[in-house]
Structure 1
């Protein structure tokens, strides 16, 4: 009985298979005043095809969304979004300190961030001049955990990739909305893959620090006062950045906070695109008077240099005048005799 049913089903299955067999279909794609045909089997290739325009130039057919341009990495993944976040952070943040951390619990992170927020909130808001309103940096100071591998890629993009230069290359892919030169594009991928890492580059100096779990202290402006307050909590130095006393801040000496701080190690920083070691970071934090004090020191140095130049120039003419006066006196004596 089963065998008869199988034989009877064979013609039906063959007919059903013929109905669902895919046959090439022709589609007409129109771009401006140009059109060309493609088949359903070549639909994927047609998305990357190019058409001729006036003058013989080649322009790719644009089928992509303006909010999701073609890229070398899948933009939906968390890694791609982290790369975009880190490149934006590196380009817009003038002061970043890097810490190595080791298995901090959520409670320990919360305790460390609490004491950090308390320390920077005690610093008065700096005012660049008498006209501008004071800027409160305390709410913007953040301590965040980083993905080391994604940060390494972002550092290479920021260091070795120039979107303006890539935009002028003929090999850069283009769409109707312009060249594809964003941080996840093929141009950025090829630039960092073939980059020649110079020993003097910022990436070569900081790359040895990109080992193990990392955390970053982010300051939106270079404020030595806020940096000193943060270092007094995260990396205290006796004499320069003393830790808060138990009487003044008992929460800092809590066992949970101390356990978390013991697992943090300052390894370096990136300030205005320059790489500083721990000694350099401590020097920036120890500038007296903050940026205003640093400007006053610079003005004093410039004034001293100008005064020295003026004195040097005056010495030559003064010596010449004295020599001439002495010779004139001698000649007058001779004439008088």
Structure 2
């Protein structure tokens, strides 16, 4: 539900001003109805969000997950730390800009070589778009090489231009460029998948983000053949953003209350998510008696007692969304059912 918008073009976006604006919204909604307050990842927004969380103590502030993941991808392309990736990005931009800035070449590519498909796939964030372009370039490597050797290209005036020659040389002769494209796809694709998860509308992402980030790191390690020197620079970037900015007990609680994840034999983070769940209960539920009720009902969930142990409930753990599963099978534990939903 869209609540409201404000014209703040005449205001300074410092932390104190933002805090006052956010505080009015919380008071209007009622702090007892707020579970999570999400803002931009800019420093002033972060300061205002943290101040808001400290004032009330009954809900969580979090930075935008999509923005945080986009910043991870931005760090992957930082020439100070990953100069080869930055150099490869610049070459990729030369190829795509050249093709898309020349209508005849673009038409030729689409009509004769890529079956109408594009090299650029606009997506939710700037850096995701850049990394998705590498997937397209790698996918259409053969077609691009055919494009820059076909008669129409050879006979065109662009084939004799300085930029045309430079782009053709990258596509046809630069083996290192294509190797780096494949490497970049390996390390970026797992994060792009998480980005689609948190920004999509198909399922609420809260119950999936914790495991999704963990799986992304494991996927990157596996793709780099578990070679520590190869994957540590990238997983360190992810950990820095995840641990210091994005991760909160709320994500762990969402993971714990997602039966499709929590009951998997392969899931190894039980202690971490249990700790997050208890921390979340303590913050969101102020009444000690209600906290105790939730604690006792968690045991029923954990041990699959009552409706939780029904064959249908077990089969539906990964088929239903967490909220729908709790609506259907959480009637024996009404307080926990309400909390989970």
Establish whether TM, by shorter chain, passes 0.5. no
Structure with more contact order per residue of length (Cα contacts < 8 Å, sep ≥ 6) = 1
Higher Cα radius of gyration: 1
- Kindly indicate which of the two structures has a greater share of residues assigned to helix: 2
TM-score normalised according to structure 1 size:
0.24
